[in-house]
Amino acid sequence: MDNSQAQTKIIVEFCYTLPNIAPTLFKLQVNHQSTIEDALQYLASTQLSEVQFLLNMGSVWAIFGKKKSGTHLLQDGDRIELCRALIADPMSARRHRAKREHKSGKM
């Protein structure tokens, strides 16, 4: 890699939601060839304690909804997303909702 690539910065976003709180989005400027882990370490060192808490949760990360490892190389414009554990199985919730609507005659 030549020196100009080492100095190049890219812009990525980090977003997450917490229960009963509006989604939060941070824009970050990181070095070219940064990984998700690099961006998250930078974010933890410069942002709120709540972000540090999220990073310590051992969450799964995604880029535009596709699960990625922490060693994934970022591209300009990527959005790093925090993927929290599901509260309920989506299929079970859908079945429960359908039964409830059927009983109430909403179908």
* pLDDT digit string, tens, across residues 54-64: 666 667 889 99
Span 26-35, average pLDDT: 92
Residue 1 pLDDT > 60: no
Residue 19 pLDDT > 90: no
The model's pTM: 0.68
CA gap 35, 28 in Å, rounded? 13
The pLDDT, as a whole number, for residue 49 is 64
Domain hosting residue 39, numbered range? 3-104
The total domain count for the chain is: 1
Domain of 21, CATH number, reads: 3.10.20.90
- pLDDT level of residue 9 (50, 70, 90 thresholds): very high
